[in-house]
C-alpha cells in the first residue's frame, strides 16, 4: 500500500471549521492506485448496489475479481482490498465523465473525504483532514462533526471499531493466518444479504473463525 497514504493529512478537532467544496473535477478520483481501501461494509454495500443492476454478479469473489486488488499490508501475508484503477492516470475504476458511477454506495473513504476517521485504543476515533487537493478548500464552511455525522454512519463506526479490534487480535496469530491468505477465505468477511444485522453477525463469526483456526 502507498506509504504516502497518510502523509498529506493533518489532525482536526471535532468542532473545527473548514472550507470545502466539490468541484466535480474528478481530481480526488485520479492517481489513487492502492489508495482507496475497501472495508468489509464497503464491499457489502457495493455488492448490493451492483447486484441490483446486474444479476450476473453472484458472489463477493466475483465483485472483488472485477473491481478490487489485494494489497499486502503485513509480511505474514495479511492483505486488504483497494479499488482497482484504470488508465495512465490511475483513475478509480468507477469514475466515468468525472462522476462516480456508484455514488449511492461509494466506499467510506470517499464518502467522508476530505475527512478521515481512524479508530484508536480508547474505543474512540481520531479525525484528520486530507490536504492533498488544496483547490477543494473553498466555498462553504462546516464543522468536522457535522460532516462526519452526515457521512460516517453508526454502522460505519461500529464495523470500523470492530475491524480495528479484530485486526489487533489477528496480529497475535499472524503465523496461522498465512494458511488463509486466499481470495476465497478473505472474502468470507463479506456476504451479500438484504439484512445488515445478519451480515454484521456473519462478519463477526468469520473473523473469529480465522483467529481460532
pLDDT for residue 205: 59
Sequence-distant (6+) residues with CB within 8 A of 202 are 191, 193
pTM for the whole structure = 0.75
Lowest mean pLDDT among 72-81, 114-123, 152-161: 72-81
- At residue 80, does pLDDT exceed 60? yes
pLDDT for residue 3: 47
Place of cell 484504470: 86
Across the range 22-50, mean pLDDT stands at 90
Region for 154 from its dihedrals, namely left if φ exceeds 0, alpha if ψ lies in -120 to 50, beta otherwise = alpha
pLDDT for residue 161: 85
- 31 pLDDT band, cuts 50/70/90, is very high
- At residue 211, does pLDDT exceed 90? no
pLDDT for residue 87: 96
pLDDT for residue 78: 66
Distance CA 83, CA 115 (A): 19
Which among 87, 103, 92, 108 has a CA at the least distance from the CA of 34? 92
Angle CA(20)–CA(22)–CA(28) in degrees, nearest 5?
A: 105
Distance CA 66, CA 93 (A): 9
pLDDT for residue 120: 83
Sequence-distant (6+) residues with CB within 8 A of 19 are 137, 138, 139, 140, 141
Give tens-digit pLDDT for 61-76: 889 999 999 988 666 5
Provide the mean pLDDT of the chain: 78
For the chain, the domains span 22-113+152-212
Amino acid at each position: 500500500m502507498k506509504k504516502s497514504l497518510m502523509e498529506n493529512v493533518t489532525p482536526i478537532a471535532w468542532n473545527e471549521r473548514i472550507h470545502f467544496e466539490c468541484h466535480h473535477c474528478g481530481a480526488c478520483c485520479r492517481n489513487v492506485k492502492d489508495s482507496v481501501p475497501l472495508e468489509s461494509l464497503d464491499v457489502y454495500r457495493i455488492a448490493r448496489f451492483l447486484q441490483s443492476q446486474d444479476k450476473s454478479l453472484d458472489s463477493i469473489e466475483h465483485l472483488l475479481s472485477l473491481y478490487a486488488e489485494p494489497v499486502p499490508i503485513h509480511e505474514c501475508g495479511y492483505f486488504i482490498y483497494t479499488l482497482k484503477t484504470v488508465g495512465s492516470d490511475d483513475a478509480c475504476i468507477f469514475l466515468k465523465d468525472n462522476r462516480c458511477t456508484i455514488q449511492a454506495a461509494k466506499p467510506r473513504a470517499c464518502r467522508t473525504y476530505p475527512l478521515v476517521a481512524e479508530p484508536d485504543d480508547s474505543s474512540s476515533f481520531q479525525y484528520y483532514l486530507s490536504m492533498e487537493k488544496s483547490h477543494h478548500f473553498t466555498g462553504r464552511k462546516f464543522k468536522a462533526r457535522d460532516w462526519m455525522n452526515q457521512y460516517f454512519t453508526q454502522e460505519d463506526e461500529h464495523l470500523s471499531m470492530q475491524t480495528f479490534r479484530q485486526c489487533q487480535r489477528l496480529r497475535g496469530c499472524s503465523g496461522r493466518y498465512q494458511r488463509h491468505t486466499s481470495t476465497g477465505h478473505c472474502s468470507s468477511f463479506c456476504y451479500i444479504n438484504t439484512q445488515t444485522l445478519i451480515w454484521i453477525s456473519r462478519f463477526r463469526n468469520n473473523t473469529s473463525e480465522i483467529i481460532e483456526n
